[in-house]
Amino acid sequence: GAGVSQTPSNKVTEKGKYVELRCDPISGHTALYWYRQSLGQGPEFLIYFQGTGAADDSGLPNDRFFAVRPEGSVSTLKIQRTERGDSAVYLCASSADLYGSPLHFGNGTRLTVT
């Protein structure tokens, strides 16, 4: 079946601009996660949702980052006033439930801030 889909696969933006990254989880998965991966590093947690609500947003680095999941399926990660340090691969994952089920990842969106 279809896996986690992320769009766009690549995004280049200028410093100070606003960007939106989209994630389509596996159908029926209630939990959705956002991670950020810098070159040569492991993925770092940003936020996760159970249904429509953010269960834990403690990984968001600052208030320029925001994520929504209004209907409990598709999620959008929003970054305001982008900075060069935001350049990374943003990974989305979904799982059948919050605890005890493996996360299935998409291939990520590579964000480059120039």
Partner 1 sequence: GESVGLHLPTLSVQEGDNSIINCAYSNSASDYFIWYKQESGKGPQFIIDIRSNMDKRQGQRVTVLLNKTVKHLSLQIAATQPGDSAVYFCAEVPYGTALIFGKGTTLSVSS
Q: Please name the helix (run of DSSP H) or strand (run of DSSP E) that holds residue 90, with its range, or none.
A: strand 88-95
What backbone torsions phi and psi does residue 7 show, to the nearest 5 degrees? -135, 145
> How many angstroms separate the CA atoms of 100 and 50, rounded?
14
- CB 112 to partner 1: min, Å: 14
Nearer to partner 1, 12 or 80 (CB): 12
User: According to the binding rule CB under 8 A, does residue 48 interact with partner 1?
Assistant: yes
User: According to the binding rule CB under 8 A, does residue 26 interact with partner 1?
Assistant: no
User: According to the binding rule CB under 8 A, does residue 28 interact with partner 1?
Assistant: no
Q: Are strands 109-113 and 88-95 parallel, antiparallel or unpaired?
A: antiparallel
Binding site for partner 1 (CB under 8 A): 4, 33, 35, 41-45, 48, 56, 59, 91, 93, 99-100, 102-108
